[in-house]
Amino acid sequence: MTAGLSHITFITHDLNKMSRMIIDVLGGEEIYSSDTRQFSISAEKFFMVGDVWVVIMHGDSLPSRTYNHVAFKTDDTGLARAKLAIEKLGLEMRAPRPRIAGEGQSLYFYTPDNHLLELHTGTLEERLRVYT
């Protein structure tokens, strides 16, 4: 049995551009950069986004976009702030899926490497409550 999430790794063709997105949009804090040292399969950087350890590693972009995504929790203020940062960075937003009242707000956007990320204001408990 697992004890929870350890970390999330995204492969990116541009570590600096992805770093800027993690810091400006997700409010992440860079805590490590391999720089010229390489302990893993490629150059990498570590971030803390809230209480989630996010890793970015240099490599080829995903060849296509899908609905596979990672959702980060936020509140209404954070959602509005992130939208401005996404627009400033020129990232593409995806239209949200249809929602029913009470399940929270979402903002979906693609990284430059075709990863789909979501910022979501709701909780599992809230969603289950409105679904029943």
pTM of the model: 0.89
Task: State the CATH number of the domain containing residue 12.
Answer: 3.10.180.10
Catalytic residue among 29, 44, 87, 118: 44
Report the DSSP pairing between strands 29-33 and 7-12. Answer: unpaired
pLDDT of amino acid 130: 86
Number of structural domains, the chain? 1
Our answer to whether residue 92 is catalytic in this structure is no
For 54-103, how does the pLDDT look when each residue is reduced to its tens digit (9 = 90+)?
999 999 999 999 999 999 999 999 999 999 999 999 999 998 888 888 88
Strands ordered across the beta sheet of 93-94: 69-73, 116-120, 106-110, 93-94
pLDDT attached to residue 45: 96
Q: Is residue 21 part of a domain?
A: yes
**Can you give the residue range of the structural domain that contains 114?**
7-131
71 part of a folded domain: yes
Establish if 55 belongs to a structural domain: yes
Decide if 20 is inside a domain: yes
